[in-house]
Amino acid sequence: MTAIARIAEFIVKTSLDDLPAAALPLVRRAALDTIGVMLAGAGEPAAQMVRQAIRAEGGSPLCTVFGATLRTSPTWAALANGVAGHAHDFDDTNFALMGHPSVPLFAAALAAAEAHPADGRAVALGYLLGFEIDGALGSALNPAHYTRGWHATSTLGTIGSAAASARIVGLDVRETSHALGIAASLASGLKENFGSMTKPYHAGHAARNGVWAALLAREGFTASDTALEGNQGFVAAFGGTSSLDGALDGLGRHWQCETSRIAVKPYPSCAMTHPAIDALLELRTREQLTVAQVADVEVAVNPVVPDVLRHPRPTNGLERKFSMEYCAAVALADGRVDLASFAEGDVPEATRGLMSRVRMVVVDDLPKALEQNAWSRVTVTLADGRTLRVPPRGALGHPDTPLTDARLREKFLGCAALVLPSHDAEAVADQIAHLDDVPDIRALTSRLVANTR
């Protein structure tokens, strides 16, 4: 049996009852976080430009574009909501995927469920099946796939989004196999574009192509059964292991929703900046530090980090999200890192001066497991000669140190407030807490409209 056939069997034959107890709590939290960042990102230039292009292209008004008045076809809605959801780089991550699972999966699943009316249980199951595929492929191909320059959110996320869409649309095993094969050819996304609008486009690209692959397969469109593991297939082209067997053996037995799980971001910047941000905010509070006291900041990182945090002297808000120097400096200077930290405009003089005293250095003695790639060690040298150190660690929001339900809801309400009245945002949060009880997903999506273009 080919890899695609094995995955298709899993997608079609798995029910919510087969998943572990951790599954539904994970999907409810992921939905709250993801819909929040989609609403927050709707006003960003990248999201606005995509909506303008969609209006020019046209599309049947079947699906909701969140945080706006636009309705369009399922593929365009998936693109628009995916771009908005990743526009702030505030969406959740998964260490097996080495990327952002939930925005592409929910953008695809919600669009498919609106166009082919489905309930909240169907959306939850589609998301969870896609999540399992994302994690399985990520665990097989990473870190080699990621370090070669592929943005796994987009490449692997396209296949996960096709899995979610295929289940919600109701494809059989053969049709689902074709959808996965089509998705394998549609997958793309380069890390060289980090720090530009194309980075958030990748999330929408994965969602759109996942839905599109499912819709094509439903019409009888075909693809190779060996599009994943063939000699000229996905694995050979994208790098990594020569076999998916080990990862696929775990499908339905070892659940990614229990093992790799998701990390929810407390800060709207690349996750690889978060351990250092946490450490510096802690030191600033504990030691009552001022910018003038700080002579030097050394952030020790794993070798994978510099290729991601590739903007030591960022020139705009998007590049600042991928700058350890900026994120470390703004944490120390302002005592917070939030959406306002990445607004366009000049960097304050105090922060700019501190950036020149931040050094990111690659070391070999940090933990190197996939879930520890982002760990960092922080050393702050003060003007009076004292040295303050924070040992290697991960960040708040990691599955082992998750945000509380209260803080997650607070994050959602802060994001949603950018486009929805507070009472509407509260009601949406309450509804998402019972996502799997929603009888028609349009009862939720209809509440995500805002008076913006």
Determine the Cα–Cα distance for residues 232 and 160; give it in Å rounded to an integer.
20
Q: How confident is the model at residue 449 (pLDDT cuts 50, 70, 90)?
A: very high
Same domain as 161, residue 43? yes
Same domain as 225, residue 97? yes
CATH code of the domain in which 353 resides: 3.30.1330.120
Q: How confident is the model at residue 243 (pLDDT cuts 50, 70, 90)?
A: confident
Question: What's the pLDDT score for residue 241?
Answer: 67
Domain coverage including residue 25: 3-266+427-448
Same domain as 440, residue 321? no
Same domain as 81, residue 221? yes
- Could you tell me if residue 414 is inside a domain? no
State yes or no: pLDDT of 236 exceeds 90.
Answer: yes
Question: What's the pLDDT score for residue 240?
Answer: 64
- Could you tell me if residue 102 is inside a domain? yes
Determine the Cα–Cα distance for residues 324 and 180; give it in Å rounded to an integer.
37
- Could you tell me if residue 249 is inside a domain? yes
Mean pLDDT of 205-217: 98
Q: How confident is the model at residue 90 (pLDDT cuts 50, 70, 90)?
A: very high
Same domain as 366, residue 319? yes
Residue 21 exposed, middle or buried by CB count within 10 Å (0-12, 13-18, 19+):
exposed
Determine the Cα–Cα distance for residues 221 and 423; give it in Å rounded to an integer.
45
Mean pLDDT of 272-299: 97
Question: What's the pLDDT score for residue 67?
Answer: 98
Same domain as 434, residue 359? no
How many domains does the chain divide into?
2
Comparing C-alpha atoms, which of 178, 27, 168, 153 is closest to residue 96? 153
Question: What's the pLDDT score for residue 193?
Answer: 97
Which amino acid is it at 183? A
Cα–Cα distances (Å) from 423 to 169, 426, 428, in that order, read: 33, 5, 9
- Could you tell me if residue 405 is inside a domain? no
Query: For residues 378 and 297, is the Cβ–Cβ distance under 8 A?
Result: yes
- Could you tell me if residue 131 is inside a domain? yes
- Could you tell me if residue 243 is inside a domain? yes
Determine the Cα–Cα distance for residues 202 and 445; give it in Å rounded to an integer.
23
Same domain as 332, residue 199? no
Mean pLDDT of 283-292: 96
Average per-residue pLDDT for the chain:
96
Instruction: State the DSSP string of 302-349.
Output: -TTSTTTS--SS--SHHHHTT-HHHHHHHHHHHS--SGGGG-SSPPPH
- Could you tell me if residue 373 is inside a domain? yes
Mean pLDDT of 112-139: 97
Query: For residues 221 and 182, is the Cβ–Cβ distance under 8 A?
Result: yes
Q: Tokens standing for 429?
A: 């949060």
Same domain as 345, residue 223? no
pLDDT tens-digit readout, 350-388: 999 999 999 999 999 999 888 898 999 999 999 999 999
Same domain as 30, residue 124? yes
In eight-state DSSP terms, residue 190 is B
pLDDT tens-digit readout, 132-157: 999 999 999 999 999 999 999 999 99
Query: For residues 195 and 151, is the Cβ–Cβ distance under 8 A?
Result: no
Question: What's the pLDDT score for residue 242?
Answer: 65
Same domain as 287, residue 146? no
Same domain as 277, residue 249? no
Question: What length does the chain have?
Answer: 453
Question: What's the pLDDT score for residue 81?
Answer: 98
Query: For residues 418 and 38, is the Cβ–Cβ distance under 8 A?
Result: no
Same domain as 383, residue 349? yes
Mean pLDDT of 97-111: 98
Counts for the chain of helices (H) and strands (E), in that order: 19, 6
